[in-house]
Structure 1
Amino acid sequence: MTDRLEQLRSAWPGGVEFNSKLVDRAIAGTFAPFERVRAKELADGYDPSAKEQGRSRVLLAAVRLSGGNLVRLESLLRAAETDFRDVLASAEYEAPTSPLVARLSDEYLSWFDRLTLPNEG
């Protein structure tokens, strides 16, 4: 798994595909069944004119940070409308050990990697 995380880390974000299918999987895996429709509505309302790659990356970060809480998701998406980088940094990066060092979070990369695995069956 460590090798896979290093592959993701070296490709992040330009060599990684972010798309609405991953967002749907993240919502399904994060929210209770009775909250998924509302979570999807909130996600659909976020910057619909943006390119899918960037939009999906922000949505994945917001879903992850929400912890399955709709109020939190809505708040994160509002924050992303002001400055999406705050949401991305909070989700994707570990707390800095130095002001000059930013490191992608192993936990976030592992979560993302599980979303990309085929689950058809």
Structure 2
Amino acid sequence: MENTYQLGPTKHFPVATVNRILKDVLTAHLQEAEYDPEFCRQMTKTISEVIKARVKELMIPRYKLIVTVYIGQQDGQSILIGSRCLWNPKSDTVSSYTFRNSTLFALANVYAVYFE
């Protein structure tokens, strides 16, 4: 990519739209799903690729995307998932959505980092 001397985004990342994408994708893929470790392993890959493709369709220039998906069994236990990032709070952002049904939970995150 050639240097454009552009130090900030011309268009802000649409967090609300990405949150809606996360909700739609997780609900569509996991609404009727039962927890199975092998199924969940494959589904994390599938869901993360679908989310990444749908967010890329928004055509937000100069943003690098990182998509993470966690799926686990819902059986009365608790889990804490944390993350840290070193970024510019004026241009970089994260979108997150948690889905639950009777047998599983899923957490999807999209980190959008502006590329100068």
User: Which is strand-richer, 1 or 2?
Assistant: 2
TM score, norm. by length of structure 2: 0.27
Tell which has more relative contact order, 1 or 2 (C-alpha 8 A, sep 6+).
2
User: Which is helix-richer, 1 or 2?
Assistant: 1
TM score, norm. by length of structure 1: 0.26
Q: Which has the larger radius of gyration?
A: 2
